[in-house]
């Protein structure tokens, strides 16, 4: 009921609530989804039930049986017995199993002589093993390596200190060496310095052709001093040449000038600077000579204006 499938007729019959007739086949209601006295609400709930409920099952499967309340089971010991037929099956309560112990690593490094690693495996009733590894040999080897490296570094440091001290002594020796070592003084020069003319330069060049006299002159010039290579070079070459003679020279003799690099004076200047400063290089000294010769005309002109 109702015996119609059209929605409009079904709604009319449902709202009119006609009395049941004898020829109507009655069916037992198996399940209530929702109860209401409002038809619109019932329609909404019906659509929801059609979407969410399984309406394709058989009638017997869809019938909900009344839930039977289960009595709690009583836990009794295995030694108790029950003579009644209604006695509930007993269950034996076993003791809780012991917890599993994870591997534990125990490191004992208390002193350099005792070094041990103990590894405890899983403690089970069947197997229980302990591995002990002695680390005395490994530690001894490592300590020996460190000691060897430390001794080597100490030896290298001591050698460096000795080299530094020797260099200081050599530098002090050369700087403080007296001019009379070779027996050449300023009075022994064939012409006064600084040289002023080409003739004086030619005479002095002949004088420096002798090795002994060249060494004596180098020793004399090395005592003039200077804080660095340029200042030491400028001071020495200024002691040898005046600006009037120096303006006719450059280092390689280019641009219609004479070559200073071909003179014995060049050798004397370089050796004197190196004797006073052993760390100086020949290239640095030559560069300083080039600059000093290049600015000779400017110095001469500036000094001439000052004299006027």
pLDDT higher at 65 or 238: 238
Ranked by mean pLDDT, the top range of 28-37, 60-69, 283-292 is 283-292
Burial 161-177 (b: 16+ CB within 10 A, else e): eeeeeeeeeeeeeeeee
Nearest Cα neighbor of 66 from 27, 30, 26 is 30
3-class SS shares of the chain: helix, strand, coil, % to 5: 50, 10, 40
Q: Indicate the pLDDT class of residue 99, thresholds 50, 70 and 90.
A: low
Given a cut of 90, whether residue 54 has pLDDT beyond it is no
Q: At 127, is the secondary structure helix, strand, or coil?
A: coil
Residue 74: its pLDDT value, please?
59
Could you tell me which residue, 81 or 227, shows the higher pLDDT?
227
The model's confidence at residue 283, banded by pLDDT at 50, 70 and 90, is very high
Residue 66 pLDDT class (50, 70, 90 cuts): low
What is the rounded CA–CA span in Å between residue 223 and residue 73? 118
The listed range with the strongest mean pLDDT (26-35, 141-150, 281-290) is 281-290
Higher pLDDT, residue 71 or 43 = 43
Neighbours of 245 (CB within 10 A): 19
Task: Provide mean pLDDT across the span 216-231.
Answer: 88
* Cα four-point dihedral sign 244, 250, 254, 260: positive
Question: What pLDDT, on the 0 to 100 scale, is given for residue 89?
Answer: 47
Q: Compare 247 and 7 and report the one with higher pLDDT.
A: 247
Cβ count within 10 A of residue 116: 14
Minimum mean pLDDT range among 8-22, 141-155, 169-183: 169-183
Phi, psi values for residue 30, rounded to 5°: -95, -30
Q: Which residue has the higher pLDDT, 87 or 158?
A: 158
Gyration radius from the chain CA atoms: 60
Q: Regarding the domain delimited by 180-307, which CATH topology (the fold level of the hierarchy) does it fall under?
A: Arc Repressor Mutant, subunit A (1.10.10)
Query: Rounded CA gap, 249 and 195, in Å?
Result: 13
Residue that is written with structure tokens 């080897």 in the block: 141
pLDDT of residue 24: 67
pLDDT for residue 201 is more than 50: yes
Range name among 116-130, 136-150, 170-184 with the lowest pLDDT average? 116-130
Phi, psi of 105 (to 5 degrees): -105, 120
**Residue ranges of the domains in the chain?**
180-307
In terms of DSSP bridges, do strands 104-111 and 114-120 run parallel, antiparallel, or are they unpaired?
Answer: antiparallel
């Amino acid at each position: 009921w109702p015996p119609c499938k059209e929605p409009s007729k079904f709604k009319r019959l449902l709202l009119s609530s006609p009395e049941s007739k004898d020829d109507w086949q009655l069916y037992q209601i198996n399940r209530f989804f929702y109860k209401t006295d409002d038809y619109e609400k019932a329609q909404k709930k019906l659509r929801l039930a059609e979407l969410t409920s399984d309406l394709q099952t058989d009638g017997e499967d869809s019938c909900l049986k009344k839930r039977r309340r289960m009595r709690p089971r009583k836990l009794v010991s295995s030694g108790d017995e029950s003579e009644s037929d209604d006695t509930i099956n007993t269950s034996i309560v076993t003791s809780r199993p012991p917890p599993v112990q994870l591997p534990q690593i125990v490191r004992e490094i208390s002193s350099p002589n005792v070094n041990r690693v103990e590894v405890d495996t899983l403690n089970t009733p069947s197997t229980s093993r302990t591995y002990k590894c002695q680390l005395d040999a490994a530690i001894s080897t490592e300590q020996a390596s460190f000691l060897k490296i430390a001794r080597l570094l100490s030896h290298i440091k001591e050698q460096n200190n000795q080299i530094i001290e020797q260099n200081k002594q050599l530098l002090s020796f050369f700087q403080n060496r007296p001019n009379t070592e070779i027996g050449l003084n300023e009075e022994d020069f064939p012409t006064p310095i600084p040289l002023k003319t080409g003739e004086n330069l030619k005479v002095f060049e002949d004088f420096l052709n002798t090795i002994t006299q060249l060494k004596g002159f180098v020793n004399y010039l090395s005592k003039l001093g200077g804080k660095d290579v340029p200042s030491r070079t400028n001071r020495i070459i200024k002691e040898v040449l005046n600006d009037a003679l120096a303006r006719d020279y450059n280092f390689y003799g280019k641009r219609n000038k004479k070559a200073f690099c071909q003179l014995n004076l060049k050798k004397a200047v370089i050796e004197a600077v190196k004797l006073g400063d052993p760390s100086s290089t020949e290239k640095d000294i030559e560069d300083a000579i080039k600059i000093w010769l290049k600015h000779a005309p400017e110095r001469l002109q500036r000094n001439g204006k000052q004299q006027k």
